[in-house]
Each structure stands twice: as C-alpha cells, then as structure tokens.
Amino acid sequence: MKKVIVILLLAALGFYLGTTFFNIGFGDPHFANGVKDFYLKETVDNLHVSNTVTSIVVNFRGFDTLGEVTVLFLAVTALGSILYKRRHEVGTRSVLFSSSSVVTAGSKLLFPAVILLGVYVFVHGHLSPGGGFQGGVIIATGFLLMLLSYENYSVSHKWLSIVESLAGIVFAGVGLLGFINGGTFLQNFLPTGVLNNLFSGGVIPIIYIAVGFKVAAELTGVIYTVLHEKGVK
C-alpha cells in the first residue's frame, strides 16, 4: 500500500514537472521585437543616462551586478584564506633586486595620476565608457605600480577590508532603500536629473562609486597577498 502511494505521488510529481518542462519552449522568441528598443528608449527618456550599457548593468540588471560583486568578494576571500598562513609565517616579500631610482621617482609621480584616472572612470560611469569595475581595476594597477617599485610599500589590510565592507553595505543599502521607496530591490528612487549631467541617473552613480571602491580594495588585497607569498623565486 505504501509503495503504491509513493509511486502515485512520484507519478503526479513527474507529470507536473514534465508538463512544466515541456511548456517552457526552448528557443521560442519570447519578445517579438526584442528588448533592445525598450532599453534604448527607456534609458534616454526616463532614466536620463547617456550610457546605455551602464543603465542596463546597474539599473535594469542591478541584481546581476550585485551577484558579480559578490563572486569577486568570494574569490578574494578564498584566495586570502588559502594564502593566509603562509603569509604570516614569512611576513616579508622576496625581492630579487630593488628598483632603480628612475622607477621609484617615476612611479611616485605617476601614482596620483593613475588614482585620479580611476576615480574619473568610475565617477563618470553613467556618462562615458567605463564604470565601477574598470575604475577599480585602474586604481588597483596604481597600487600594483607602487608595490612593484617600493620593496617595503605596504597597504593596510584593515583599511582595505573596512573600505570593501562599507562599499558592499552601500550597494546593498541602496538596493534596500529602493525596496522601501520604489517597490523592488535596487529600484531607482532618486530624481534622475538632466541628461549628460554629472549628477544624473538616480542611483547609478552611487552604486558605481561603491562598486569602484569595492573592486579597487579587493584587487589591491589580491595583489598584496600574492606579492607577499614566498616560495616562488
């Protein structure tokens, strides 16, 4: 009797799963005209953002971007936890020979310019090509330049983790504020301003600044951790 009931339940479950599965319609055109027209029109008319890619990445698919940032965070955490013990056993970097004075002086001059470029790229993410990820990577290359030129240049891990956590909290907090004000997670709730203005696009600049800080802190942490790993010579 018990077996019959189990078989019947399984059959019912299988039937419903099967009908749902075969009704999905793989390969069917779900949108007759595609969604591109909607994105292009909505971006300029209602969001007042000149960079359509940014508006898709941060506004229409903001949840996806939050996932990407989380994946990066997870990767950095995993790397840090793998290399943590070895770093504490050794403590210093293995350097074959120190950089020449040309490189040290030059990188001291170039470092502020690189940081400024990175900040520019992520602040203007909604106006020009670029955005939080790209700007963060540029800032991390600035720190890489300093770490390569100066043997004893050190980055505070405490500050890196504080910046990273604050940026993540800002991203998620903006999403929750959208939940409270607009109705859905990461909904735009700020005034969108005028097209091609620096202060426009609603929550997009805030999110991109947070993403820029987060990516910069994470990648700087990765570079620092890997450079301080001894063993490979």
Q: Note the residues at the interface with other proteins (CB under 8 A).
A: 96-97, 99-100, 102-103, 106-107, 109-110, 113
Q: Which is nearer to other proteins, 51 or 107 (CB)?
A: 107
- Identify the three-state secondary structure at position 33: coil
Distance, in Å, from the CA atom of 81 to the CA atom of 226, rounded to the nearest integer, reads 12
Instruction: Please give the structure tokens belonging to residue 113.
Output: 């310019």
Instruction: Please give the structure tokens belonging to residue 189.
Output: 């709730």
State the minimum distance, in angstroms, from the CB of residue 110 to other proteins: 6
State the minimum distance, in angstroms, from the CB of residue 54 to other proteins: 22
Q: Which is nearer to other proteins, 107 or 187 (CB)?
A: 107
Name the nearest CA neighbour of 119 among 106, 140, 133, 135.
135
The count of C-alpha atoms lying within 13 angstroms of the C-alpha of 183, restricted to the half-sphere facing its C-beta, is: 0
Instruction: Please give the structure tokens belonging to residue 229.
Output: 């790993």
State the minimum distance, in angstroms, from the CB of residue 225 to other proteins: 23
State the minimum distance, in angstroms, from the CB of residue 105 to other proteins: 9
Dihedral sign of CA atoms 108, 113, 114, 119 in order: positive
Instruction: Please give the structure tokens belonging to residue 78.
Output: 């995993």
Q: Which is nearer to other proteins, 39 or 150 (CB)?
A: 150
Q: Which is nearer to other proteins, 31 or 97 (CB)?
A: 97
State the minimum distance, in angstroms, from the CB of residue 113 to other proteins: 6
Instruction: Please give the structure tokens belonging to residue 155.
Output: 């980055």
Q: Which is nearer to other proteins, 111 or 189 (CB)?
A: 111
State the minimum distance, in angstroms, from the CB of residue 106 to other proteins: 4
Q: Which is nearer to other proteins, 56 or 138 (CB)?
A: 138
DSSP result, 121-150: HHHTTTTSS--HHHHHHHHHHHHHHHHHH-
